[in-house]
Amino acid sequence: MREQAGNALISASGASGRKVGKVELVGAGPGDPMLLTLRAMQSIEQADVIVYDRLVSKQIRACFPASAQALYVGKAKGDHSTRQEAINDLLVALAWQGNSVCRLKGGDAFIFGRGSEEMLALKAAGVPVDVVPGITAAAGCTSYAGIPLTHRGVSQGCTFVTGHAEQSLDLNWPALAQLDHTLVFYMGVTKAVMIRDRLLACGMTPTTPVALVEKGCCPEQRTVTGQLQDLPALVKRHQVVSPALIVVGEVVALAEQLQWVSQVAELQQQKQLQLSA
């Protein structure tokens, strides 16, 4: 696998006389390579170039074929290695060079993944583009944490919210507080104080259960639970870092009963001990 930073090729533009290639916007899911769809794996295996984000886990990156050129264009808070406009230009340039391009994104490309922006740019440039849906973090990470997004008699719906904003989150906080939905905040760890204060100010009960799911669906996954009133303290005490989801709602109280990932790990360890005995 030939790996380099994506901005090394941003200057490549214009057609080279070859037949125009194709771009596939592929959702890589929340981290576990076993959660890749068959279609996503096919796109990875057949790609000439894989353009991937920060949230594509190292376990999934290990699946990249040696024949593919891997270009990293990830973003972190306060450190955008490549501007979105430059990523759009890069995808267009790679396609016009005749490449089969797998644009690989953590989770699902159309849920806080800016996939639609990239698709609009590609279509405007006349580049064929497909979308391969992926398991979004809210569904994958909460399932691995034993937290159902909905549960009869507890939560009749769920709402996904992005916590990614430079200053304040311009949201309809009264509606969020009164929805009686499970709330899932993506990229919200640094906004924990604001999330707590706004929800409490709009009438949400201070003892509402909350969970922080860090590095979900990866071997390092960690789940921290508590109450809404203590959300910032939980982040600080447990040193929770991104990528992490914040889950707010009564369904979090079911996590202990529905927890299953650690039980599977324990069974695997027991089997390994038996085999080595």
Last residue of a domain, one of 106, 135, 164: 135
> Does any domain span residue 14?
yes
Q: What is the pTM of this model?
A: 0.86
Domain identity same for 22 and 129: yes
The confidence score (pLDDT) of residue 169 equals 81
The confidence score (pLDDT) of residue 78 equals 57
Domain identity same for 27 and 121: yes
> Does any domain span residue 276?
no
Active-site residue, 75 included: yes
Domain identity same for 39 and 122: yes
Domain identity same for 30 and 121: yes
Domain identity same for 98 and 195: no
The CATH number of residue 49's host domain is 3.40.1010.10
Domain identity same for 101 and 126: yes
> Does any domain span residue 93?
yes
Last residue of a domain, one of 135, 170, 191: 135
The confidence score (pLDDT) of residue 12 equals 42
Domain identity same for 248 and 161: yes
Active-site residue, selected from the candidate residues 19, 32, 48, 53: 53
Active-site residue, 53 included: yes
Domain identity same for 146 and 122: no
The CATH number of residue 146's host domain is 3.30.950.10
Phi first, then psi: give them for residue 144, nearest 5 degrees: -70, -25
Domain identity same for 126 and 213: no
> Does any domain span residue 270?
no
Last residue of a domain, one of 135, 170, 199: 135
> Does any domain span residue 30?
yes
Domain identity same for 144 and 250: yes
> Does any domain span residue 234?
yes
Range of the domain at 159: 138-256
> Does any domain span residue 180?
yes
**Regions of the chain short of the pLDDT cut 70:** 1-18, 76-81, 165-168, 263-277
Domain identity same for 120 and 8: yes
The confidence score (pLDDT) of residue 77 equals 61
Domain count, the chain: 2
> Does any domain span residue 99?
yes
Q: What is the pLDDT of residues 1-50, one digit of tens each?
A: 555 655 544 444 444 456 899 999 999 999 999 999 999 999 999 999 99
The confidence score (pLDDT) of residue 266 equals 54
Domain identity same for 145 and 184: yes
